[in-house]
Amino acid sequence: MEDGQQIYDQIHPELESGNTVELDFEGVTIFASPFLNVSFGRLLKDFKPDDLNRLVKITNLNPVGWSVLKRVIENSKEYYANEVLRKAVDEVLLEQAESL
């Protein structure tokens, strides 16, 4: 998740400025949804999917990576579009964090 946050921190300001960003996954063979949730899924809070499609170029992502990324995008779209779902998810995550 920390690596995902670093990517997010680098690309978010570029996207806000209307600049295109390339995410190159060359050599990456393992994909964790928490990394993609933090680095890419959170972008859907501030950007429309069409804008991200236009501004973000993804290269060298293998089929497994595409599958995980598509799931992250769909989950993020639902999370940010549905306030009731967002509140329920946030409550569950808070309860889990407090129980650790």
Q: What total number of domains does the chain contain?
A: 1
Q: What angle do CA 61, 51, 62 make, to 5 degrees?
A: 5
The first and second tokens of residue 82, run together, are 């549905």
Q: Which residue has the tokens 């950007």?
A: 47
Domain that holds residue 6: 2-99
Give tens-digit pLDDT for 42-56.
Answer: 999 999 999 999 999
pTM of the full structure: 0.83
pLDDT at residue 93, as a whole number: 86
